[in-house]
Chains A and B, each alone.
Chain A
């Protein structure tokens, strides 16, 4: 299972306690994780990435394994530690705006 950590506001919005565990079929990428997340929690559509373009929202970042993966292509494979569930995929609200 893939482990995903959401920022507090999105956990509240989606009524999630703690970490999300997702089944992702095929290659584990930013896109396949976010697709699975939005299927499970439709309220998160538009909150992490834009409708239409599916681009990451400007003040949202993606971290994993102590790396900032935010600007990596969305179809690049994520680290094996994320794919195996050893490490979580972190969706983070950027520190901006006070």
Chain B
């Protein structure tokens, strides 16, 4: 029987939640790396027992932890992230130039074919890759060096490369998203990159439609249709039908189009999920009601999903990396909150229940569907 393993990164450690395919009874393991911020934990599609965890601390810097047994034991591997060549500068919050400086790994994207090959998105924004299981990390400098890097500026959470989306049908193509620079695409395996932000409008910028500078919070795609992308921007939910060449707004009838997380159903490419957040100044759900919104039409028409979710006095946030879907026949959804709850739905979002309620603030949620 199939099973699922939910990998949760929090402000104070990692947790691993496991269940059989019914997703009704859960075992909780953790905290792993207690007291450290765990920005992301992700498994290799090529070897599901190979996990990578980003363990960070404002005191003691970055560690990369690797497990070869599904998270039972861990080994620290390489943690040196050196930018290629002269790092140069980007813009600081006040508009002055600031040298690029590595702070942490936000995101892993393991290769679908090789458990030893993993991409890492880091702050200050850059893309690194290991081909030896995490022992050594090397920058793909074409992204920072493509021309606009010196004008990138951090969002409130830091200047982070937080999303890495390989094209499942084209091993040379990949999308990344950076706050607050925007979306970039490579078509040659990471050597060269282009900004892909046409159609985005960000009122906080002097030129709201500039080529870069957009605070893209998350992008997602369905593996059967990688030319269609969905985006939760700082404000606005967006869609691209041409692999990022242009974007159209699909916020439609959402109560607010601010938010962080966005995901696509495992089996329905036009079914999309967001968690609307009141505003950039009030990072909690509107009216104290935690609602996931689902569109079955690829955007514009959205329905609230509330069964099992708190509908009064709820003032948590759901961060950009904290929602995931499994690939069981009845698609499961998972999301974690800054209040420490991890909610699960085994019926495509129709109903929800908490797996755990009292973890530290959740930074990231991933799920593995295991045979």
Q: Which residues of A contact B (CB under 8 A)?
A: 7, 9-10, 12-13, 43, 45-48, 50-52, 57, 59-60, 93-94, 96-97
* A46 and B79 contact, CB distance less than 8 A: yes
Residues in B with CB closer than 8 Å to A59 are: 58-59
Q: A9-B35, A9-B36 are known contacts. Are A51 and B80 too (CB-CB below 8 A)? A: yes
User: What's the Cα separation between A45 and B61 when bound, in Å?
Assistant: 10
User: What's the Cα separation between A45 and B58 when bound, in Å?
Assistant: 15
What are 29 A-to-B residue pairs whose CB atoms are below 8 Å? A7-B59, A9-B35, A9-B57, A9-B59, A9-B60, A10-B60, A12-B34, A13-B63, A43-B63, A45-B79, A45-B80, A46-B62, A46-B79, A46-B80, A47-B61, A47-B63, A48-B60, A50-B61, A51-B82, A57-B60, A57-B61, A59-B59, A60-B59, A60-B60, A93-B59, A93-B60, A96-B58, A96-B59, A97-B58
Residues in A with CB closer than 8 Å to B36 are: 9
User: What's the Cα separation between A50 and B62 when bound, in Å?
Assistant: 10
Q: Is B76 an interface residue (CB 8 A)?
A: yes
Q: Shortest 6 CB-CB distances between A and B: which pairs? A: A59-B59, A47-B60, A43-B76, A93-B59, A51-B80, A46-B61
The secondary structure that dominates the B interface is loop
How many whole Å from A24's CB to the nearest CB in chain B?
A: 22
In this complex, the interface size class of chain B, counting residues with CB under 8 Å from chain A, is 10 to 19
B36 to A, closest residue via Cβ: A9
- Choose among A43, A46, A94 the residue that contacts B59 (Cβ–Cβ < 8 A): A94
Residues in A with CB closer than 8 Å to B76 are: 13, 43
* B82 and A52 contact, CB distance less than 8 A: yes
How many whole Å from A55's CB to the nearest CB in chain B?
A: 12
Known: A60-B59, A94-B59. 16 other contacts (CB 8 A): A7-B59, A9-B35, A10-B60, A12-B34, A45-B79, A46-B61, A46-B79, A47-B61, A47-B63, A51-B82, A57-B59, A59-B58, A59-B59, A60-B60, A96-B58, A96-B59
How many whole Å from B258's CB to the nearest CB in chain A?
A: 28
How many whole Å from A12's CB to the nearest CB in chain B?
A: 8
Mask for B318-335, Cβ within 8 A of A = 1, else 0?
000000000000000000
Residues in B with CB closer than 8 Å to A96 are: 58-59
User: What's the Cα separation between A18 and B34 when bound, in Å?
Assistant: 18
Residues in B with CB closer than 8 Å to A7 are: 59-60
How many whole Å from A92's CB to the nearest CB in chain B?
A: 10
